[in-house]
Amino acid sequence: MVRAVQIRQHGGPEELQLVDVPVGEPGPGEVRIRHRAIGLNFIDVYHRTGLYPLSMPAGIGMEAAGVIEAVGEGVTHLQPGDRAAYASNPPGSYAEARVMPAMCVCRLPDAIDFETGAAMMLKGLTAQYLLKKTLPVEGLQPGDHVLFHAAAGGVGLIACQWARALGLELIATAGSQAKCELALANGAAHAINYREEDFAARVQEITGGRGVKVVYDSVGKDTWEPSLRCLRPFGLMASFGNASGPVPPFAPAQLGALGSLYVTRQTLFTHIRTREATQAMADQLFEVVASGQVKIHIAQRYPLAEVQQAHRDLEARKTTGSTILTLD
C-alpha cells in the first residue's frame, strides 16, 4: 500500500484526498516507479475541476521523477534501479509509487537531480514543442519577436531561457512587476505587466508596428482577442492552455481580416504519442538543462499532504516558476 491523492468527484481543492491504495506488479509495457518528487501543473487543476473530465475515482498528476522498481514484459529501455522521469497519461503522479505505461518514462541523466526532473518534464517538453515544432508558416529565425503569456510560470521561465538560446526576441507578459522582472532575468527581451498596460498596444510599439510572428498562449479567454491584434500577417496564434477559461467561439473570417492568420490548439500528448518522439524531445530538453542554458526554477515545495494548499496557491496566481510536491 502507498499513499496517493485521489478525487471522488470534480470540484475544488477540498476534493483532493490522501488515501492508501494498493500498488501491484507491472504488466506488459508497464513499469512500477517509486517517486522521489512530483510536479504540479495547471492541467492538474483542469482534471480536478472537470474541464478535462476523468472517470471516478481518479488519480491526479501528470509528472514525477523517481526510481524504477520493476518492469513489465516488453519494456527494454528501462530496468530496475534506473533513475527516471516522465510527463505522461493517465493521471496519477500524486502518489508515493505507481504502476504506469512505460512509453513516456525516460531515463534521467545523472547530471539532473530528482526534484529538477519532476519539475521539468511536462513544462520543459511543452516549451520544446512550442519553440521547436509549433512554428509560424514563415518559420522563426534569430532576431524574430514572439509573444509568450504567463512567462513567469513554469513553462514560461523555461521558454524565456530557451528562446534566448535560440536567438529569439521573446516578449513576456505577466501579472505583476515582480513577475516581469523574473521573466527578464531569465532571458525575455521585453516584459509587459498586463494589469497595468495594454499589452497589444505595447507589442506593436516594441515591434515598430510589425507585430510578432507567433503568440504562445496558455491563458485562454482573457488574452485571446488582444493577442490576435499582436500578430503580423500570416502570424500564428498557438493556444496551449485555458488558465482563464476556454476561448469562446470565433468567426474564421476574423482571421482573414486581421492578416490571414493561423490558429492552432496544441497539446503535449499529441507530441509524445510514440516512444521515439518522447525520447527525442526529452533528449533535447536534457541537453539544454545539463548544459546550463536552461535552469529549472523550483520556487515552491509542498509536502504531498498539503496538496490542497498547493492547488489553491496555483489557482490564485501566487506561484512562480515550477512547483513540486515532496515525499519526505
CATH of the domain at 50: 3.90.180.10
Residues 106-137: pLDDT tens digits? 999 999 999 999 999 999 999 999 999 999 99
Out of 265, 287, 306, a domain closes at 265
For the chain, the domain total comes to 2
pTM score, whole prediction: 0.90
Place of cell 502518489: 95
Find the DSSP H helices in the chain. 42-49, 114-133, 154-165, 177-185, 199-206, 224-228, 253-257, 268-271, 275-290, 307-315
Whether residues 172 and 289 share a domain: the answer is no
Does residue 42 sit within a domain?
Answer: yes
What is residue 149's predicted lDDT score, i.e. its pLDDT? 96
Read off the pLDDT of residues 266-313 as tens digits, 9 standing for 90 and up.
Answer: 999 999 999 999 999 999 999 999 999 999 989 899 999 999 999 999
Considering the domain architecture, whether residues 109 and 187 belong to the same structural domain is answered as: no
Based on the domain organization, do 159 and 222 belong to the same domain? yes
Residue 147 sits in which domain range?
A: 135-265
Please report which confidence band the pLDDT of residue 201 belongs to, taking 50, 70 and 90 as the band edges. Answer: very high
Q: Is the peptide bond before 252 cis (omega within 30 degrees of 0)?
A: no
Query: Is there a domain that residue 20 lies in?
Result: yes
Q: What is the structure's pLDDT at 320?
A: 81
pLDDT, tens digit (0-9, with 9 covering 90-100), for 205-242: 999 999 999 999 999 888 899 999 999 999 999 999 88
Pair 239, 261: CB distance under 8 Å: no
pLDDT score, position 245: 83
Final residue in a domain of this structure, among 221, 238, 265: 265
Residue 99 belongs to some domain of the structure = yes
Do 310 and 219 belong to one domain? Answer: no
